[in-house]
Chain A
Amino acid sequence: SQTIHQWPATLVQPVGSPLSLECTVEGTSNPNLYWYRQAAGRGLQLLFYSIGIGQISSEVPQNLSASRPQDRQFILSSKKLLLSDSGFYLCAWNSRGNTDTQYFGPGTRLTVL
């Protein structure tokens, strides 16, 4: 069966510091991968998605970036965090051959102070 991991689970960072969040998927090959941010009481905002290694689509212009160095690894980064980057970050995957249902990881709670 497929499993999706995210780390760290929680992170507290000062404004202006760098960020690296990691997501890995097990038990599947060639997945589509997604990064979402969820603000308190709000819906999920799609940040990036990737259909393959090195292929990244950005949905929201901001100081975040994403990379996919390996087939089942997706990384969310920032060079300098802003207060507004605080939130709950979720990674998701779905099958390349059946691009409907997404499955989510446990999430990373990021607080920028």
Chain B
Amino acid sequence: EDQVTQSPEALRLQEGESSSLNCSYTVSGLRGLFWYRQDPGKGPEFLFTLYSAGEEKEKERLKATLTKKESFLHITAPKPEDSATYLCAVQAGRNFNKFYFGSGTKLNVKP
């Protein structure tokens, strides 16, 4: 069964304290893995798409990496404005209209 698991569920960091969020997946024929940021009461905001193992993408303090079984979202020197829930999703190759989402990691960065 296709599945996406994110860990930890919640993460508290001090401003400047770097860390990583994990997204592990089991899917037949990965077509793409996606990271989103979601602020309370708002729709998810697209961050990255990764297609193949070994691929990396960066945006400001965020860097996403992909292996054959998991993806990491690395946050370097986070700021309070990075506080949000980060969602991971995968798209399977056999039905590319189906996207499987994890339950997210709620990040809280304290000043």
Contact = CB atoms under 8 A, between A and B. Distances in A.
A99 B4 contact: no
Interface residues of A, number: 26
B101 interface: yes
B104 interface: yes
Nearest to A32: B97
B43 interface: yes
Interface of A: 6, 32, 34, 36, 41-46, 49, 51, 57, 59, 88, 90, 99-107, 109
Interface in B76-111: 87, 89, 91, 96-99, 101-104
SS of B interface (majority): strand
A43 B101 contact: yes
Closest 5 CB pairs of A and B: A104-B43, A43-B101, A44-B101, A43-B103, A100-B32
Nearest to A104: B43
Interface residues of B, number: 23
A97 to B, nearest CB: 12
A107 B101 contact: no
Given A100-B49, A105-B43, A106-B43, A43 B98 contact: no
B16 interface: no
Given A43-B4, A43-B87, A43-B104, A102 B99 contact: yes
Contacts of A103: 46
B108 to A, nearest CB: 14
B44 interface: yes
Contacts of B49: 100-101
A61 B41 CA distance: 26
Interface string B22-45: 000000000110101000011111
**Residue from B96, B99, B102 whose CB has the most chain A CB atoms within 10 Å:** B99
B46 A101 contact: yes
A109 B97 contact: no
